[in-house]
Structure 1
Amino acid sequence: MSTQTAPPAAKIRADSPAATTAAIKSRRPRRPREFTSKAVVNAVLVVFALYTLLPLTWLVIASTKTYRDLFATNPFALGDFSFFSNLGELFSYNDGVYLRWLGNSVLYTVIGSLLSTLISVVCGYAFDKYEFRGKEKLFGVVLIGLLVPSTVTALPLYLLASEVGLVNTYWAVLIPSLVNPFGVYLARVFSEGYVPGEVLEASRMDGAGELRTFGSVSLPMLAPGFMTIFLFSFTASWNNFYSALMILNDEALYPVNLGLYTLMKSVYQQPELYPLVIIGSLVAVIPLIIAFLSLQRFWRSGLTAGAVK
């Protein structure tokens, strides 16, 4: 007797149309899951945007209200448009002391940030392009400076300033702002990403000295990094509060944030000063917004340093 066996099932070739269609279907993303993930991400971004913008929105709305409207109306409801009258009272308060505070902040921030950024760029460039004894150990000391909070150094800086007679002067605020360990670290990273060693060698072969090479060749290449470090220094200097509180006693030398703090303490005895504190806070934010909007293209390009090789 002969037994008949069923023929084996035909195998699908790997290069057949059926196999190709099956592979495409297996790799096709699932649309519901993709939609859900995008919705979650967008929802989280909306929450963070509201968390960031709601205080600023309230500040803008509250700056248009009188003292009575601040406590008699909804926080996000518009009252009588008193923005310009509040602004006039702010600038005329105590013989225009707010304008003095604003000018002090501009002085501390612009001059201090420019000098601090230049020092940081020079130091970072030197750490990157030159070889000297103990370079990495010294750079490690700079990195340790990143771990020390500024509030910890406020009291030692006050004691040092008192020893040399700089307490309650502009120099007591300007000189400590020149030291920026984070700026030195960023400058070294930018120097590695933006300044090729071959360009420096070519400049030296053409007879340029080290100072001319840095000023004419390296510094223009480091412009995005320079502006990025400047923005970080600008923000830190503008928001500097505790050091100024420790070192300054004269109201005429206060930066704007410390001046607003003293004005806020007067609110408990003079509640009608509430609108001045609010609109003063709004005016104090404007320079930061202008700085970021005008320099953001340098900041964006600087953040990508070394990302593409």
Structure 2
Amino acid sequence: MSAVLATPPTPQVAASAPLRSPAQPPRTRRKILRRLPAIAGVNGLLLVGCAYMILPLLWLVFAATKDATGLYSGDVFVFGGAFLANMEQLFTQDGGIFVRWLVNSILYAGIGAVVGGFIALMAGYAFDKFEFRGKGTWYGAVLVGVLIPNTATVIPLYLLAASVGLTNTIWAVVIPTLCNPFSVYLARVFSAGYIPDETLEAARVDGAGTVRTFLRIGLPMLTPGFVTIALFQFVGIWNNFMLPLIMLQNRDLFPSSVGIALWQSQVQQNPEFSTLVIAGSFISILPLVIAFVMLQRFWRSGLSAGSVK
């Protein structure tokens, strides 16, 4: 007769109480309250900065639709009905001289942006990847050039151009724009952030020369940086006023900035020129907006060069 062992009863597990999220400690709440003034101050400064940049553009858009009477009377941010008349007057004034000024600005800024940007790219690449005698001294001179304002170099540039007979020519405006110390500095930053030294070493092992390595490997990798530098060059040359004002005497060679200033000087004698100034300023910002919109995917990636390692 076999014995049957009794199975011990299974112990009942008591149901655990539902978990409750701990209440936010008073210390964290006080810390958040202490940070509120700083957050409000930072966001307030950002709003003031945005208003400082956007409100003048908005005023220009509304002012371009008004005649001379509505420009100095009535509400500021209200559209007028003279936009087409202002545009017609702008492009027909003095035989359409504004179109020539606009083409001159595009020519000066385009050559300076493309050629000057490429020269700066090569210089920054050389400062970053090559070792040569006096490298630190030459790069220090570039950094000193960044600190010197462009207006301080206008008179020396005019004397140099006058000594070789280049004043009152397009070369007097184009040649100084081909060398920009700030662009060289940016190019070195982009070269250090985009081109690994191992890639160039592999190209040298495969037998590629210095020029071929730069054109086939370095230049494609530096495309976002080149577009960013070219945009900065384009904007700086487009807005340049003192250099063409000093260098040029022929009105047909003026860029739009100097031409609009010429019209502005006649507003006191003829108030009708005020609409020409406003309409010309409105048209002058359109190429900059178009350039930034079309090339934004390049310069946005270019501005983040070297931010992530």
Relative to the length of structure 2, the TM-score reads 0.88
Aligned ranges for residues 2-17 of structure 1 at < 5 Å?
A: none
For 2:77 and 2:307, how far apart are their aligned partners in 1?
43
Q: Residue 297 of structure 1 aligns with which residue? A: 297
Match of 1:183 in 2: 183
Q: Tell me the C-alpha RMSD between the 2 structures.
A: 1.8
- For residue 14 of structure 1, what is the aligned residue in structure 2? none
The count of aligned residue pairs is: 288
1:184 and 1:88 mapped to 2: Cα distance? Answer: 42
Which of 275-284 and 294-303 deviates more?
294-303
Residue 308 in structure 1 maps to residue 288 in structure 2: no
1:146 Cα deviation from its structure 2 partner? 1.1
The 3-state SS of whatever aligns with 2:114 is helix
Return the offset for 1:299.
Answer: 1.9
Amino acid at match of 1:242: M
Q: What corresponds to 1:261 in structure 2?
A: 261
Q: Deviations over 1:101-144 (max 9, x none)?
A: 00000000011111111000101101111111111111111111
2:255 & 2:194 partners in 1: Cα distance? Answer: 36
Q: Distance in 2 between matches of 1:128 and 1:26?
A: 53
Superimposed CA distance per residue, residues 211-232 of structure 1 (whole angstroms, 9 cap, x where no aligned partner): 1110110111111111111111
| Residue 219 of structure 1: aligned partner | 219
Tell me the distance in 1 between the aligned counterparts of 2:37 and 2:241: 44
Distance in 1, Cα, partners of 2:298 & 2:53: 23
Change beyond 3 A, Cα 1:82–1:133: same
> Partners in 1 of 2:113 and 2:180 — Cα distance?
10
Match of 2:3 in 1: none
CA–CA separation in structure 2 for the residues paired with 1:265 and 1:33: 53
Q: Does 1:57 align with 2:58?
A: yes
SS of 1:69 mapped into structure 2: helix
Alignment map for 1:279-294 (pairs within 5 Å): 279-294=279-294
How do residues 29-44 of structure 1 correspond to structure 2 at under 5 angstroms?
29-30=29-30, 31-44=32-45
Structure 1 unaligned blocks of 5 or more: 1-19
CA drift of 1:43 comes to 2.8
Distance 1:170 1:95 in 2: 21
Counterpart residue number, 1:116:
116
How many percent of aligned residue pairs carry the same amino acid? 51
2:278 and 2:43 mapped to 1: Cα distance?
A: 32
1:172-251 equivalence runs, <5 A: 172-251=172-251
Superposed, which structure 2 residues align to 1:64-143 within 5 Å?
64-79=65-80, 81-143=81-143
C-alpha deviation, 1:57, in angstroms: 1.1
Q: 1:29 to 1:122 in 2, by over 3 A?
A: farther
> How far did residue 35 of structure 1 move?
5.0
Give the distance between the partners of 1:88 and 1:48, measured in 2 at CA: 35
User: How far does residue 272 in structure 1 lie from its aligned partner after superposition?
Assistant: 1.1
- CA distance in structure 2 between the partners assigned to 1:29 and 1:306 by the alignment: 37
Amino acid at match of 2:278: I
Structure 1 CA distance, aligned partners of 2:259 and 2:127? 39
Are 1:146 and 2:149 matched, yes or no?
Answer: no
CA distance in 2: counterparts of 1:105 and 1:297, whole angstroms = 24
Measure the CA separation in 1 of the matches of 2:59 and 2:257.
Answer: 19
Secondary structure of 1:140's counterpart equals: helix
State the shift of 1:250 in Å.
Answer: 0.3
User: Cα gap change, 1:296/1:27 in structure 2, threshold over 3 Å: closer, same or farther?
Assistant: farther
2: distance between equivalents of 1:129 and 1:48?
39
